[in-house]
Structure 1
């Protein structure tokens, strides 16, 4: 397994302090990486200076002329790793730090189960915060949120997990894939910009016959608290609605599930005077229109 060549793909935007800690974590791995490909999404802080001072990693930097979002960044980074012939590609955000033995634990998984592997995330206090879905329900039209079970809520602590937990979707925060996964399903979809690009990729992988496992002993420490309470009337709200709708329209397993975006949009518009106002209503209408185009 040590003969395999592994490239990490890190996407960053204006988080130089977090990126510094993250790269230090990669340098401290007990199994060195063969490449660290950083996609600097047109940062305007001192990210470039941070990257210029890295001398203890096999660093490659890709700088697009504009911010392509996490989706575009992972598309570029995975493409670069694939074209350079790496055997495994490890997708990472800039706000996580791997334990020194994290990569070794991933590479120790038996080959027949190791096409798609996910780390297990903890917070700075050591609490389990792995929100990857054990169940992602695109069959039940009554499930407003398709993620109905996740590692964190199912097990409570990392110690209570079995060595491997099968998943139905993942975040791009420590997702390790074999080269043949890219050969089978292609690159992450850059059109998502942010949110749900990782969900889309996991669904594509599973539909191509690949199984996905969280590895209990491969620990990644998240540097920030989870905060999913975005302004649904702002630009992030648009992407959250559009990409959620796109996933339902692309992969809904029956007509009722594929109809959920219209029902959700109608509900948001009707309730907008009581919650997000006109801006959220405009977002959800635009999101539904664009998701219909994106789903094709």
Structure 2
């Protein structure tokens, strides 16, 4: 049986990157059945880029910036309610190679992910092969990544089991949404993809990185965000939410309080008052997000 596949893209003020990404989708050897684009209130020339007729575009222009998490929640909801068999989520700064979608669809698995390279062809896949929510001494639960485990893509086996993913080339069948619900919009940015992957794995799904399904990432990774700025609040808060929701023992679930205490104690010599304020607000906000999202209501 031929499965229908919908692509879900979230974009915000990166029209030129989005144009390259859409060109990559248009060049697929197996075309997508629908492409849902959530434009998060962009103020650049994104609307002009989306005026094209070589793709089955379904565009939503949000009046407000929903964040990546809100955009993926909305886009996946639309694709799911339209009845598509598989949903392929994508950021606006990656370009799929021509056979990427065809290779993914050949995998008879509920959860698969493309593998990212940079523009120079180097392996740049940051998905975790070890995501530890058992050890309270592991400050960062992501203990090992694909690109730290393999020298290059050629050194990978055809499939690698992943313990978390990014919403950059992750594909799942609709049965996954039936089982665990939609991406959680309340994250706004960061860790919404991790949360979704943890829920999927705890529901019994295995996630496979597919070596020969390749995405080219147009930008370098920049994980060194200003923890005293607005993004720092979300990085702290959403990391804490993952621990509160899914920590496998009491010590792991208490780890956010230790992290917050250390940040506050060290703030006079690093980070400053703004970072300390972020981490204190993050703890309070994360405590209100401990409920795991439910499954979607049946369509009437």
Instruction: Please state how far the C-alpha of 1:107 moved relative to its aligned partner.
Output: 1.1
1:238-253 map, 5 Å: 238-253=233-248
2:297 equivalent in structure 1: none
Matches within 5 A, 1:39-58: 39-52=38-51, 54-58=52-56
RMSD, aligned CA: 0.7
**Whole-Å separation in 2 of the counterparts to 1:295 and 1:129:** 32
CA distance in 1, matches of 2:50, 2:30: 21
Q: Which among 121, 140, 157 is matched to residue 135 of structure 2?
A: 140
String of CA shifts for 1:188-211, please: whole Å, max 9, x gaps: 000000000000000000011110
Structure that is richer in helix per residue: 1
Aligned partner of 1:151 in structure 2 is 146
- Work out whether 1:127 is the aligned partner of 2:154: no
Q: Which residue of 1 aligns with 2:221?
A: 226
Instruction: Confirm whether residue 96 of structure 1 aligns to residue 91 of structure 2.
Output: no
Distance in 1 of aligned mates of 2:169 and 2:147: 16
Residue number in structure 1 paired with 2:21: 22
Tell me how far apart the structure 2 counterparts of residues 142 and 241 of structure 1 sit (CA, whole Å). Answer: 17
User: In structure 1, what is the Cα distance between the partners aligned to 2:270 and 2:47?
Assistant: 41
What is the CA distance between 1:119 and its match in structure 2?
0.5
SS in 2 for 1:219: strand
Alpha-carbon offset, residue 265 of structure 1: 0.2
Q: Distance in 1 between matches of 2:271 and 2:48?
A: 40
Q: How far off is 1:64 after superposition?
A: 1.7
Structure 1, unmatched stretches of 5+, are none
The aligned residue for residue 176 of structure 1 is 171
Q: Give deviations 1:67-113, integer Å, cap 9, x for gaps.
A: 0000000000000000000000000000000000001111112x2xx
Distance in structure 2 (CA, Å) of the matches to 1:295 and 1:43: 31
Aligned position for 2:158: 163
1:106-140 Cα offsets, whole Å, 9 max, x none, are: 1112x2xx100011000000000001000100000
Instruction: Tell me how far apart the structure 1 counterparts of residues 136 and 225 of structure 2 sit (CA, whole Å).
Output: 24
Q: Is residue 61 from structure 1 mapped to residue 59 from structure 2 by the alignment?
A: yes
* Alpha-carbon displacement from aligned partner over 1:28-57 (angstroms, at most 9, x marks no partner): 0010010000000010111011112x1100
Say whether residues 1:212 and 2:211 are aligned partners: no
Question: Which residue matches 1:75?
Answer: 73
Cα deviation for residue 168 of structure 1 reads 0.5
Distance 1:156 1:72 in 2: 35
Distance apart, 1:288 and its partner CA: 0.5
| Residue from 264, 288, 294 that aligns with 1:293 | 288
The alpha carbon displacement at 1:172 in A equals 0.1
1:106 to 86, 104, 126: 104
Match of 1:87 in 2: 85
